[in-house]
Amino acid sequence: MARPDGRLNHNLLDEDPLPQDECGVIGVWAPGEEVSKLAYYGLYALQHRGQESAGIATSDGKHIKVYKDVGLVSQVFDESTLSALTGHIALGHCRYSTTGGNQWSNGQPTLGATPHGTVALGHNGNLTNSADLYDRIVERHGRTDFGELAQGNTTDTALVTALLRDQPGDSLEEQALALLPTLKGAFCLVFMDENTLYAARDPQGVRPLVLGRLDRGWVVASEQSALATVGASIIREIEPGEFIAIDADGIRSHRFAEAKPARCVFEYVYLARPDANINGRSVYESRVEMGRQLAREDTHDADIVIPVPESGTPAAVGYAEESGLPFAQGFIKNAYVGRTFIQPSQTLRQLGIRLKLNVQAHVVRGKRVVVVDDSIVRGNTQRAIVRMLKEAGAAEVHVKISSPPIKWPCFYGIDFATRAELIANGATIAEITAAVGADSLAYISEDGMIAATGQPRSTLCTACFSGEYPIELPPEDRRGKLLLEQPAFPGMYKRVQTGCEPGPDSEFELDDTERPLRDALGEAAPSETSLSESAQSESAPEDSAQDTAESLTTKASR
């Protein structure tokens, strides 16, 4: 079990989790540098992209070492651990699960053997043809009990690692170029062998991936915030459909597929850090412009504009600028409260959101308040926020959302609620307004959101808002977060029980004080069943190359 982190997580209410991105990745090629520490600090800057597990692999030219564990970057690594990860190449990964449950065996980087050496691999995104890739492995080998698959890894990343060793080619580079065109969905891959660092981005470029320069090397990372943190200068984005290799001979670039951009618009809305820059557009400025556009589309007579920290702050700044209303900090967010693993009393359970967010009553008392946030998922958070503001004496509360209603699930690397749980699916604006208790509620239009990004509509994925998926989806029975843990995939299912760990706060996730809003709308809340999850160990087949690779994997004893 991960230790208490003492830091605020993304969610203001545990039963109303915000959309979560899958992962953050970083790769470093820098002879003479402490590459493990560069990867560590890069992951620190990417922690917002995944908080379930973290791992780093390094190579000294002869051996690859991997260290990973469940928890935040700061929980998993310490000085002694990083000192043992020596070499001139490093690969770092922080994970939020969108394929495979949250368990140690699903942590990354993955490790595997190839005819040309060992490969360590990290992945941000979500493949849509995982079932086909599984079938391909079974067809070729008649089994899946080798490599990380034998250790209970049920992710699409493990499938890619296993398939790399079967591809034609005289080097890992050639093998990767043979495999990449067969992968479907969203993927930013950063991987390495003993001597070379590699990176690849899917043809749609759904998730961001950037290239940076160090004085004595190179860095690739999910966002440029990681480059800035380790002192690397931004060179450019890895292009959609591009594969690069970095070694002592420099950088080589290959085009493995035609670029068909469909960048995730939700990166601009919420997922990326505000200091990111995606396709030449500042994420912070996009969010400020979303607030301005929201004010143009719907302005109420009010006294102040306040954000829901921290994700609503840039849009609230833009709303205040455009509307001419004063900007104020109506909420104070506790920066040191996270999952404490201490069960609260019934009284504290009823406080809910107040454990993490407090109203400045003197700021809102007697005021007509516009409160700005980036999105609504289930709606419980907005309901609690409105109630807190009115209890603090706000005369009116007008909720403004800087994205359109979320009505559809994502299959490209964001873990939304199921469609049945999304409050905007099946409820009108008036019904949602009444359910959250606001005096009014307004969402930005889809056109307004897209205009704020500065990107052509044709180059963006808006599936979670529009239901238009730019990458073809497989049948329903061949997709889903826990797909490979189902009985239909016996090679994986026999090693892992189906389900997700309930987590330390599960005992009050459906507390009556914060019931799902569908109850307020007179609809039955979706039932949720949590099953404990455990990996069953099995012996790997006798394969000397694979045994060598697996022996280098270190499981942290936390």
| Helix 130-141, helix 156-164: angle, nearest 10 | 40
The secondary structure of residue 270, as a DSSP letter, is I
Q: Does 410 carry a binding-site annotation?
A: yes
Please give the C-alpha separations between residue 335 and each of 310, 355, 416, in angstroms, as whole numbers. Answer: 11, 11, 24
Tokens of 329: 């900090």
Reported as type and span, the H/E element at residue 288 is helix 283-297
Q: Per DSSP, what are the bridge partners of residue 89?
A: 29, 59
Number of other CB atoms surrounding residue 235 within 10 Å: 15
Closest by CA position to 38, among listed 198, 215, 275, 200: 215
Q: Does 373 carry a binding-site annotation?
A: yes
**Range list of H helices, 393-487:** 429-436, 446-453, 463-466
Which of 23, 94, 188, 500 is catalytic? The answer is 23
Q: Does 464 carry a binding-site annotation?
A: yes
What is d(CA 483, CA 100) in angstroms, rounded to the nearest whole number? 7
Closest by CA position to 299, among listed 321, 314, 270, 266: 321
Q: Does 461 carry a binding-site annotation?
A: yes
What is the bridge-based pairing of β-strands 396-401 and 440-443? parallel
What is d(CA 317, CA 537) in angstroms, rounded to the nearest whole number? 52
Tokens of 80: 């002694």
What is d(CA 267, CA 208) in angstroms, rounded to the nearest whole number? 9
CA angle in degrees (0–180, nearest 5) for 185-191-196: 140
Q: Does 264 carry a binding-site annotation?
A: yes
Amino acid at 525: A
SS3 call for 5: coil
User: Token match 């070499």: residue?
Assistant: 87
Whether 23 is catalytic? yes
Residue positions forming the annotated binding site for Mg(2+): 311, 373-374
Residue positions forming the annotated binding site: 264, 311, 373-374, 410, 461, 464
Q: Please identify every residue annotated as catalytic.
A: 23
Residue positions forming the annotated binding site for [4Fe-4S] cluster: 264, 410, 461, 464
